[in-house]
Amino acid sequence: MGTFPFSLSKEGLMPREEMLEVQRDVHRLLIGVPRESAPGETRIPLTPEGVRLLVLDGHRVLVEASAGVGAQYTDLQYSDLGAEIVEKGQVYQADIVLKVAPPSEEELKLFKGSQVLLSSLSVYDMSGDYIRGLASRKITAICYEKIQDSFGKYPVMRNMGEISGRAAILVAGSYLSRICGGKGVLLGGISGIQPSEVVILGAGIVGESAARAAIGLGAFVRIFDHSVYALEKVQQHLGMSLYTSVMHPQTLHRALQSADVVIAAIPSGDDTPFVVTGEMVSGMKPGSVVVDTNMSQGGCFETSSCGDLDHPVVYCNGVVHYCIPHIAAITPRTASMAFSNVLSVIVRDISESGGILQKIKADQGLRNGVYMLNGILVSPVVGNRLGMPWRDIELLMAAF
């Protein structure tokens, strides 16, 4: 129903001023979703429902054949909601390429150039040749983990952190049970039986989510962190019954000796992550379980060894070590939904802003995630690690 064209006044009905709709300058996009090639990566950045939102906005979405298999999405589900199912070479011709893991060097050769790449940023695995490959194709590369929302939060990191923390507790519970060859202990407790003990290293998003899940199951939880502020924050969120402590080696050593489960969840980006030594592990109970959620940054345990979804476990002194780079990948459908909720909105915002440069200039949160702008390296972290020159993105934006 339209607006009534008259307003009531003392003089009677008077014509109402007509309001004209202002059309937004929407930039139609071609969006590509390749199949993930990284070992053990089963997530996908855009679900069929996310595709539908973009298609309804007038965009085209190219999805590589079988891209959603790991998350239990079929090509038919994507095509029914408007995606075009294409071969590998075609998907990299899109204006915006969405990936979970960074493209490999071989995949990078498939880019046509002057495109936008939205993916994770694996600084520790990058090489100078890889960065030069992005630069030669004038790619604008954005790390979704560093994108901030209007509240200054990191939505992708928060979503993946929540999933990782909860998944870590589920994994630990499985490896305590006889189903996975464990010692047959219930993660939690029942009336008359002492609850299992869970030690969590790190009071960030992953640690808090793990603590919440463990407390919900009835476990006794101890959480350690370098920051008193972080411990106060997590205690406010979860209740005063939660045991918290700063990282005193002697206190932690005693806690590890009685622990049934240890979740290593040192917040990503910490320059000096605490490392549990092999000597500390040797004092742990046989059959206890370690879930190291920080393997993508090298791990928190000296005895950890990076595995994959097919071979996730190593044993040291009778202690189970579950070590895969991205633990959220064990629940790929949930993780894919979380990715899609965030990335589909970002793509729509880029379109409605009139293009990527306009959006980067207007949005500090998105700008925070850019590490290469039109082939120019703008990340001091990447540049300093690889010994490569970089430019200040704020100065570059001032030129537009």
Q: What is the DSSP string of 86-99?
A: E-HHHHTTSSEEE-
pLDDT of residue 6: 46
Q: Please state the pTM of the whole predicted model.
A: 0.86
Every domain of the chain and the residues it spans: 30-146+331-398, 160-330
The predicted model gives 285-303 an average pLDDT of 87
Give how far Cα 27 sits from Cα of 41, 125, 355, 357, Å. Answer: 31, 34, 6, 12
pLDDT of residue 241: 75
Tell me: pLDDT of 107 over 80: yes
Tell me: pLDDT of 277 over 80: yes
**Which CATH fold topology does 160-330 show?**
Rossmann fold (3.40.50)
pLDDT of residue 191: 85
Question: 57 vs 123, which has greater pLDDT?
Answer: 57
pLDDT of residue 274: 59
The predicted model gives 40-57 an average pLDDT of 95
Distance, in Å, from the CA atom of 285 to the CA atom of 260, rounded to the nearest integer, reads 7
Give per-residue pLDDT as tens, 345-389: 999 999 999 899 999 999 999 999 999 999 999 999 999 999 999
List the single range of 6-15, 82-91, 192-201, 302-311 with lowest mean pLDDT. Answer: 6-15
Question: 241 vs 22, which has greater pLDDT?
Answer: 241
pLDDT of residue 267: 64
Tell me: pLDDT of 2 over 80: no
Q: Distance from first CA to last CA of the chain, Å, rounded?
A: 43
Which of 184, 167, 180 is CA-nearest to residue 291?
167
* Helix, coil or strand: residue 135: helix
The predicted model gives 7-29 an average pLDDT of 55
pLDDT of residue 240: 72
List the single range of 85-99, 275-289, 304-318 with lowest mean pLDDT. Answer: 304-318
Q: What is the DSSP string of 354-388?
A: TSHHHHHHH-HHHHTTEEEETTEE--HHHHHHHT-
pLDDT of residue 311: 87
Tell me: pLDDT of 60 over 80: yes
Cα 203-300-124 angle, rounded to 5 deg: 105
pLDDT of residue 22: 43
Domain 30-146+331-398 has CATH 3.40.50.720: yes
Distance, in Å, from the CA atom of 105 to the CA atom of 110, rounded to the nearest integer, reads 9
List the single range of 79-93, 147-161, 223-237, 264-278 with lowest mean pLDDT. Answer: 264-278
Tell me: pLDDT of 24 over 60: no
Question: 189 vs 17, which has greater pLDDT?
Answer: 189
| pLDDT classification of 32: cutoffs 50, 70, 90 | very high
| Average pLDDT value over all residues in the chain | 89
Tell me: pLDDT of 4 over 50: no
Burial class of 54 by CB neighbour count within 10 A (0 to 12, 13 to 18, 19+): buried
The predicted model gives 52-71 an average pLDDT of 96
Percent of the chain, pLDDT > 70? Answer: 91
| Interior/surface letters 192-207, b for 16+ CB within 10 angstroms, e for the rest | eeebbbbbbbbbbbbb
3-state helix, strand, coil split of the chain in percent (to 5) is 40, 20, 45
Which of 309, 371, 340 is CA-nearest to residue 146?
371
Helices (H) and strands (E) in the chain, counts: 15, 17
Percent of the chain, pLDDT > 90? Answer: 70
| pLDDT classification of 23: cutoffs 50, 70, 90 | very low
The predicted model gives 108-125 an average pLDDT of 90
List the single range of 9-13, 137-141, 182-186 with lowest mean pLDDT. Answer: 9-13
